[in-house]
Amino acid sequence: MKKIYLDNGATTMVDPAVVKEMLPFFSDVYGNPSSIHQKGQEAKRYLTEAREDVAKKLNAGYDEIIFTSGGTESDNLAIKGVAYANRDKGNHIITTKIEHPAVLNTCKALEKEGFEIKYLGVDNEGFVILDDLRKAITPKTLLVSIIHGNNEIGTIQPLEKIGNICREHGVMFHTDAVQSFTKVPINAKKVPVDLISMSSHKIHGPKGVGALYVRKGTKMASIQHGGAHEFKLRAGTENVPGIMGFAKAVKLSSDSDAKRIAKLRDRLISGIEKEIHDVKLNGPRGEKRLCNNVNIAFANVEGEALGSYLDVSGICTSTGSACSSHSLEPSHVLLAIGLDKGLANGTLRMTLSRFTTEEEIDYTIGSLKKYVEKLRKISPLKRVLKDVL
């Protein structure tokens, strides 16, 4: 049976070259980077090199990179860190209805502490309406947090335009770039963004490692108490093997891979639309969409059932974000772009990687056609897609 992995938005296979890079840091270069002896300082030198490698990808300073345990911690540190450190200036934060749970639940926690959160809506492709953002900013607004590349529908927000609005109003800007980092270029010296969340395991690095870019001069509070690690912003001994793997994964990423993945993405979308009727692509097309993201609604089909059939055939997919896939509720992102619950529940997310092949894409299209037809024959719903949009 074929084994095809199309759930790279949830996590990716660790590149063998990354594994090789990490191995010496378990049993040879194992010192604590905070120790002053030779073993510790050896580890510190490698840690600094890794920090420089991640910073280079953003055109940032090495001392603007804070290593964390992953995207969720980076989001928490960015939002809470700014909120707590600047509480004397205001208590208002702006985000969107299509954020990852790491941002939404952090904002909900802050609401319980007296902060006011404005949740912006989006258009039917998932883009923030810039005039709505302008109108939402108040004299008490501390921070705007808007996801860069949406984890479910692949929408890439215009960071520069959003950042310019924030600059005009003297408001800090954070973006969750966990899905977009290395897939979409971000130049921190040119794009007016103050905080950027990143994660290793979305780019063929190990799990449990991430980073937060913090622009110099950004007023932040630590939310984790302990030692003076990570420029006093993230206490705890650094995970040197994981960080080395993360940095190697960053170095292995390339624009040419992103372009090749985008071609496979478009091959999958066009194949589904050609072979299966009554389907809808959720999110934008082309360059405004993450290169590896395909999110399709199938009318008169239950997404979980379709995913189960594919899984039995060796094809791994998702019905939404892995962080909320056990919920029985429809995706908050799909509802935010205007899908009704029926179509939202009939949606499948397929996310590609640089290891995905044309053969795998074509096999998936054929499997989808077979199982959609099978499920529609037994479905009690007989809606035509144009009647529900």
pLDDT digits (tens, 9 = 90+) for 141-150: 999 999 999 9
Domain count, the chain: 2
Catalytic residue among 166, 291, 316, 323: 323
Q: What pLDDT is recorded for position 15? A: 98
Each residue of 72-95: pLDDT tens digit?
A: 999 999 999 999 999 999 999 999
Q: Are residues 20 and 129 in the same domain?
A: yes
**pLDDT higher than 90, residue 40:** yes
The domain spanning residue 372 has which CATH number?
A: 3.90.1150.10
Among 227, 252, 277, give the residue marking a domain's end: 252
The verdict on residue 170 lying in a domain is yes
The verdict on residue 387 lying in a domain is no
Length of the chain: 389
The verdict on residue 386 lying in a domain is no
Q: Are residues 358 and 316 in the same domain?
A: yes
Q: Are residues 216 and 365 in the same domain?
A: no
- Cα 8 vs. chain centroid, distance in angstroms? 11
Among 224, 252, 280, give the residue marking a domain's end: 252
Q: Are residues 218 and 296 in the same domain?
A: no
The verdict on residue 132 lying in a domain is yes
Average pLDDT over the chain, rounded to an integer: 95
Q: Are residues 231 and 266 in the same domain?
A: no
User: Is residue 272 left, alpha or beta, with left meaning phi > 0 and alpha meaning psi from -120 to 50?
Assistant: alpha
Q: Are residues 310 and 183 in the same domain?
A: no
Query: What's the CA gap between 46 and 345, in Å, rounded?
Result: 47
Among 252, 278, 312, give the residue marking a domain's end: 252
Residue-range definition of the domain harbouring residue 175: 16-252
Buried b (16+ CB within 10 A) or exposed e, 238-274: bbbbbbbbbbbbbbbbeeebbeebbebbbbbbebbee
Dihedral through CA 268, CA 158, CA 190, CA 70, nearest 10? -70
Query: What's the CA gap between 117 and 95, in Å, rounded?
Result: 7
Concerning whether 316 is annotated as a catalytic residue, the answer is no
Q: Are residues 85 and 96 in the same domain?
A: yes
Long-range contacts of 368-372 (CB under 8 A, 24+ apart): 368/272, 368/275, 368/276, 368/306, 368/310, 369/275, 369/276, 371/306, 371/309, 371/310, 372/276, 372/298, 372/301, 372/306
Q: Are residues 242 and 283 in the same domain?
A: no
The verdict on residue 226 lying in a domain is yes
Q: Are residues 361 and 339 in the same domain?
A: yes
Q: What pLDDT is recorded for position 321? A: 45
**pLDDT higher than 90, residue 58:** yes
**Residue 22 identity:** M
The verdict on residue 41 lying in a domain is yes
The verdict on residue 131 lying in a domain is yes
Give the pLDDT band (50/70/90) at residue 323.
low
Query: What's the CA gap between 329 and 332, in Å, rounded?
Result: 8
Q: Are residues 209 and 294 in the same domain?
A: no
Q: Are residues 181 and 69 in the same domain?
A: yes
The verdict on residue 388 lying in a domain is no
Q: Are residues 160 and 187 in the same domain?
A: yes
The domain spanning residue 92 has which CATH number?
A: 3.40.640.10
Each residue of 350-366: pLDDT tens digit?
A: 999 999 999 999 999 99
